[in-house]
Amino acid sequence: MSVIKDRFSLEGRVAIVSGASKGIGKAIARGLAEQGASVIISSRKQEAVDEVAAEFKKEGLEATGIACHVGDEAQLKNLVDRTIDVYGGIDILVNNAATNPVFGPLDQMTGEVFDKVMNVNVKACMLLGNLCKPSMAARGHGSVINIASVEGVKPSPMMSIYSVSKAALIMLTQSQAREWGSENIRANAICPGLIQTKFSAALWQNEQVLNHFVDQLPVGRMAQPEEMVGLALYLASDAASYSTGGVFAADGGYLVG
| Residues annotated catalytic, as ranges | 162
Antiparallel, parallel or unpaired: β 185-192 and 142-147: parallel
Interatomic CA distance for residues 176 and 85, integer angstroms: 25
Map residue 145 onto helix, strand or coil.
strand
Judge whether 84 and 136 are in contact, CB under 8 Å.
no
Strand stretches in the chain, DSSP E: 14-18, 38-42, 63-65, 92-95, 142-147, 185-192, 247-250
Furthest C-alpha separation in the chain: 58
